[in-house]
Amino acid sequence: MRIRGRLTVKKHISIIGVPMDLGQSRRGVDMGPSAIRYAGVVERLEDLDYEIYDCGDIEIGRRETQEEAGGEKLKHLKAVSEANEKLASSVDEVIEKGSFPLVFGGDHSIAIGTLAGVSKHYHNLGVIWYDAHGDLNTADTSPSGNIHGMPLAVSLGIGHPALTNILDYSPKVKPENIVIIGARSLDEGERVLIREKGIKVYTMHEIDRLGMTKVMEEAIEYLKERTDGVHLSLDLDGLDPSDAPGVGTPVLGGISYRESHLAMEILEESKIITSAEFVEVNPILDHGNKTAGVAVALMGSLFGEKLL
């Protein structure tokens, strides 16, 4: 069955865990997939009549020395690129089998592999980047050298070949097919790239001014016109730290828990989402697994959970 030209595959969901903590500096986010599972995600989705297959976790390599990794500009480059190659192949395989890929992170560098595995199945993949950050840095613009701040640039074909050429093709997504939602912390190089590429961004100013309903409706209408599938990449730091404290790079003044539920509900009603990932859950920085619980609750709304 197709809806608006999109293959509806969500009745079969394949979970892929990516215990990656090499794309950033704060340890603990590698336990994110386990925390999300512990918060009851499988049971929650099964209650919504989905068939769930848990593919387990991608194997992640060791942390590298600066010399091995090539210095401070691209930390742990080899291990990050190798893990994303494995992830891309797994996502590709899941889609080939007709299942919906649902990826758990792990830091946001895993989006490099997710998008590589997804995009080869679409002519014009759309991306909703639900995040406090743009993740549009490069080795030259990044203040930290952490690759979790680069995955969207990499997916545009901008960056080190070991990252941009995963699965031997580049770019994975076009700038006009991206919508960033919730941005409130952008580096200067990211601002320049956003302006140069004409990337559509809804900052917290637009969310406050227009309201989440209007923002999501506009984003959906914008992507429906130009894409044949839409990937949701949801970083838990897109939410305000009061609602999602267990993240490595919290930024005050974020999207509320209720606004995020509304966003997921509107996406579910639109039927445009064809793959998804939830990233940056860090149990070490969390309070009683609250952030993993929030991630699971948002997945409930994304996959059709209703009060009545």
Exactly one of 135, 240, 259, 286 is catalytic; which is it? Answer: 135
pTM of the model: 0.94
Residue 26 pLDDT level (bands cut at 50, 70, 90): confident
Print the domain residue range for 211: 2-302
Average pLDDT over residues 4-28: 80
Residue 63 lies in a domain: yes
Residue 171 lies in a domain: yes
148 part of the active site: yes
Residue 149 has pLDDT above 70, yes or no: yes
Residue 19 lies in a domain: yes
Residue 307 lies in a domain: no
- pLDDT for 6 equals 46
Exactly one of 57, 85, 268, 280 is catalytic; which is it? Answer: 280
Q: Are strands 178-183 and 229-235 parallel, antiparallel or unpaired?
A: unpaired
261 part of the active site: no
- pLDDT for 64 equals 64
Report d(CA 171, CA 165) in Å as an integer: 8
280 part of the active site: yes
108 part of the active site: yes
Binding site for Mn(2+), by residue number, is 108, 131, 133, 135, 235, 237
- Count the domains in the chain: 1
107 part of the active site: no
Residue 254 has pLDDT above 80, yes or no: yes
Binding site, by residue number, is 108, 131, 133, 135, 235, 237
Residue 257 has pLDDT above 90, yes or no: yes
235 part of the active site: yes
74-103 pLDDT, tens digit each: 999 999 999 999 999 999 999 999 999 999
217-242 pLDDT, tens digit each: 999 999 999 999 999 999 999 999 99
100-125 pLDDT, tens digit each: 999 999 999 999 999 999 999 999 99
**DSSP string computed for the chain:** -EETTEE--TTEEEEEEE---TTSSSTTGGGHHHHHHHTTHHHHHHTTT-EEEEEEE----PPPPHHHHTSSSSTTHHHHHHHHHHHHHHHHHHHHTT-EEEEEESSGGGHHHHHHHHHTT-SSEEEEEESSB-----TTT-SS--GGG-HHHHHTT-S-HHHHTGGG---SS-GGGEEEEEE-B--HHHHHHHHHHT-EEEEHHHHHHH-HHHHHHHHHHHHHTT-SEEEEEEEGGGB-TTT----SS--SS-B-HHHHHHHHHHHHHHT-EEEEEEE---GGGSSTTHHHHHHHHHHHHHTT----
The CATH number linked to 242 is 3.40.800.10
Averaged confidence pLDDT in the chain: 94
- pLDDT for 68 equals 52
Exactly one of 76, 108, 160, 261 is catalytic; which is it? Answer: 108
Residue 308 lies in a domain: no
